[in-house]
A = this chain, B = another copy of it.
Amino acid sequence: MAAAAALAAAEVDIVIPTIRSLDFLEMWRPFFLPYHLIIIQDGDPSRTIKVPEGFDCELYNRNDIERILGSKAWIISFKDSSCRNFGFLISKKKYIYTIDDDCFVAKDPKGNDIDAITQHVRNLETPSTPFFFNTLYDPYRDGADFVRGYPFSLREGVPTAVSHGLWLNIPDYDAPTQLVKPLERNTRYVDAVMTIPRGTLFPMCGMNLAFNRELIGPAIYFGLQGEGQPIARYDDMWAGWCVKVVADHLGVGVKTGLPYIWHSKASNPFMNLKLEFTGLFWQEDLIPFFQSVKLPKECVTAQQCYVELAKLVREKLSHIHSYFEKLADAMVTWIGLWDEFNSNKAGGAGLAASS
């Protein structure tokens, strides 16, 4: 197990956006200590955020982002948890695990602490099955398999791009639902991991999310949100719609289910309503758009898919609001940065030093 953890640690960066403090890391210490952490400090860069001792960690604030990205820093949102994108960009690891700073270690029904990151790595390292539904859920799990009637030609599965984990305690509800059900808590531990079928969109939450950065990283851009933008609290949704469309096109998989984290703090529903307001409207047009997106066969990498998607956003969504033109620009700029940071000649560190 120790060897497996060390191997996994060499392949995973944990990316955490925060404006508050990193006290929540204390509870994760036994699980996160082997991993490298990339902390993105949102908000006022002059504030000091204390990193708990002993963690292998680098911390970036807004000044760092401006210095490193220069004139392209505008594509990293400010005062919104989508600033985590900077961490995805500068990582050199195969996998990213990103978690919010109000998420704690959950317990399984036997009362054991759940090692979320190990479960995510397992989800990412076993195949997905997006082309046919398996009624006993993840067929690659111990004690499970493909059921009678599952085509043999599909049993090898496809690589997994995304592992979407869930939340006990405070569920990820929108502001209207929070207002209507202020006391609802998620107490149901559903012991399953499943592939979301091809052609089906889902609401991807960024609280407890892992992905294969090498395979799909370019398509997980959380967009322009927060300060100066007409939309907030839709950063992860935007990334989820985009990444699902790209994953479906590339023939790779998106899983949801285990692991659970314990979500401690419901954000203020009145503030959320204000922040979500535009997104609640726009999603009724955005989802049909994403449901109808068809990417050309020539797009065979996540980068190519994402640039094509940016074109479609500009073409088909600009009539809703000029914001979508700006977003399309940001999407293209994001891919340019991704290529710079991930080319062999100019690594992130080199580029950072030269900026």
Contacts and interface: CB of A to CB of B under 8 A. Distances in A.
Contact of A191 (B188, B202, B205, B287): B188
A50 interface: no
Contacts of A177: 145-146, 148
Contact of A205 (B146, B148, B201): B148
A147 B205 contact: yes
A132 B197 contact: no
Given A136-B166, A188-B191, 13 more contacts: A132-B200, A133-B196, A133-B200, A136-B186, A143-B185, A143-B188, A145-B177, A145-B181, A147-B171, A151-B284, A152-B284, A153-B284, A189-B191
A150 interface: yes
Nearest to A180: B145
A164 B135 contact: yes
**Secondary structure call for the A interface:** loop
B201 A132 contact: yes
Query: 8 closest A-B pairs (Cβ-Cβ)?
Result: A149-B203, A133-B202, A197-B200, A149-B237, A148-B174, A190-B192, A199-B199, A148-B172
How many copies the complex holds: the figure is 2
B191 A173 contact: no
A280 B151 CA distance: 8
A311 to B, nearest CB: 24
Interface string A228-250: 00000110110010000000000
Interface of A: 109, 132-137, 143-153, 164, 166, 171-174, 177, 181, 184-192, 196-205, 233-234, 236-237, 240, 256, 276, 280, 283-284, 287
A145 B153 CA distance: 36
A284 B236 CA distance: 37
A199 B130 CA distance: 11
A109 B188 CA distance: 12
Contacts of A233: 148
A202 B132 contact: yes
Contacts of A240: 149
